[in-house]
């Protein structure tokens, strides 16, 4: 049941940028009332097919909306705002979520708010951890960025120069015949690994480069090196690279908090490495709760509240999706 005061806002948020379709309801008091998500997974050894993912999303969308309504006993007429992830992401899946958002906004005659998916990852993590002005490590399938907020914008202090950390893990998992997304399976296998294989470690300033590491790990797999040892070594090298870059950025930005968010933030080994860095520099490590680390409706619903309260909305006619939207170009008025 949703409990709200007279001046409280209710936002229904729709996530649909990649493998996950989700709907959540958030209130302006910071309550996530419901958060239902369904993730498209592919067979072993295959990655994400944008059209198949869009098909999955359009099949689950009405069912999830029904569940949201049933679980909250909330009449749709009580919703004040619709928020949707308008980018970045895969065109066909972005359009699936946007279509539902537009239809709901038109039907209910309420405002429509476009949300940048990465900003959603940061805001949901901030809501649950209480991080105020952190250095952020955003690690997912679409992002590997070290950022801090300044003068209205998220500023990039370090990033990947090629593929993302999530992509590195997913592509290696796919090559090794593990299911997609592969980060969790790699983490489980890495726990059984014992031998550290020599793999390329590439850090340039605050940036990392993962494509050579991917190629080298695949080569070792083809040579017959044990998968457990490769998963262990891949994690050790990839995470150490990013931890080194993050440590440097922490010192440069003089932040006393480090926040990690995005799907890869669920990884315990990465968390441990960052915890050590924070301890050394007297900083607090904030970790997004597991429930909200990966893509979910909650990140969009909550950011929808923040955006709408700050006057952001779009007409249905102008509500385009933006597959290549960069988050450092977005003015964020609520910070």
- Residue span binding ligand ATP (CB under 6 A) among the ranges 68-76, 139-147, 154-162, 321-329: 139-147
Three-state DSSP state, 217: helix
Of residues 113, 77, 96, 71, the one with CA closest to residue 18: 96
Q: How far is the CB of 207 from ligand ATP (least distance, A)?
A: 17
Among 15, 80, 187, 229, binds ligand ATP (CB under 6 A): 187
Tokens of 296: 């979910």
Q: How far is the CB of 326 from ligand ATP (least distance, A)?
A: 12
Query: Is 22 near ligand ATP (CB under 6 A)?
Result: no
Q: Which of residues 250-279 bind ligand ATP (CB under 6 A)?
A: 262-264, 266-267
Cis peptide before 189 (omega within 30 of 0): no
Among 87, 141, 158, 297, binds ligand ATP (CB under 6 A): 141
Among 92, 97, 158, 183, binds ligand ATP (CB under 6 A): 183
Query: For the sheet containing 144-150, what is the strand order?
Result: 153-159, 144-150, 135-139, 257-261, 284-287
Q: How far is the CB of 168 from ligand ATP (least distance, A)?
A: 8
Query: Is 169 near ligand ATP (CB under 6 A)?
Result: yes
Measured from the CB atom, is 164 or 319 closer to ligand ATP?
Answer: 164
Tokens of 113: 């708010």
Query: Is 117 near ligand ATP (CB under 6 A)?
Result: yes
Count of beta carbons in the 10 Å neighbourhood of residue 317: 7
Residue 60 sits at the vertex; the CA angle it makes with 305 and 138, to the nearest 5 degrees, is 50
User: For residues 294 and 53, what is the distance between their CA atoms, to the nearest angstrom?
Assistant: 16
Binding-residue pattern over the window 291 to 310 for ligand ATP, x denoting contact by CB under 6 A:
---xx---------------
H helix intervals, 109-193: 117-129, 165-175, 183-190
Binding site for ligand ATP (CB under 6 A): 17-18, 89, 117, 121, 140-143, 166, 169-170, 181-184, 187, 262-264, 266-267, 294-295
């Amino acid at each position: 049941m949703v409990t709200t005061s007279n001046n409280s806002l209710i936002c229904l948020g729709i996530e649909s940028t990649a493998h996950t379709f989700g709907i959540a309801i958030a209130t302006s008091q910071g309550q996530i009332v419901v958060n239902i998500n369904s993730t498209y997974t592919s067979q072993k050894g295959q990655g994400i097919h944008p059209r198949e993912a869009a098909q999955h999303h359009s099949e689950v969308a009405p069912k999830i909306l029904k569940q949201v309504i049933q679980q909250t006993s909330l009449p749709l007429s009580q919703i004040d705002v619709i928020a949707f992830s308008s980018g970045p992401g895969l065109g066909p899946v972005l359009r699936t979520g946007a279509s539902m958002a537009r239809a709901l906004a038109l039907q209910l005659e309420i405002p429509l708010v476009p949300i940048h998916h990465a900003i959603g990852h940061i805001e949901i993590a901030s809501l649950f951890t209480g991080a105020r002005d952190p250095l952020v490590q955003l690690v997912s399938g679409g992002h590997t960025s070290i950022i801090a907020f300044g003068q209205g914008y998220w500023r990039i202090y370090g990033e990947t120069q090629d593929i993302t950390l999530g992509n590195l893990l997913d592509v290696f998992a796919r090559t090794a015949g593990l299911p997609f997304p592969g980060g969790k399976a790699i983490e489980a296998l890495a726990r059984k690994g014992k031998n550290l294989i020599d793999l390329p470690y590439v850090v340039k300033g605050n940036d990392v480069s993962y494509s050579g590491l991917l190629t080298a790990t695949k080569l070792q797999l083809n040579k017959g090196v044990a998968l457990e040892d490769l998963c262990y070594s891949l994690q050790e090298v990839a995470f150490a690279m990013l931890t080194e870059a993050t440590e440097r950025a922490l010192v440069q930005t003089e932040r006393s908090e480090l926040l990690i968010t995005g799907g890869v933030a669920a990884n315990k080994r990465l968390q441990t490495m960052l915890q050590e860095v924070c301890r050394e520099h007297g900083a607090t490590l904030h970790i997004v709760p597991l429930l909200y680390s990966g893509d979910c409706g909650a990140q969009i619903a909550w950011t929808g509240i923040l955006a709408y309260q700050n006057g952001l909305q779009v007409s249905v006619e102008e509500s385009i999706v933006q597959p290549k939207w960069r988050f450092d170009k977005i003015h964020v008025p609520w910070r």
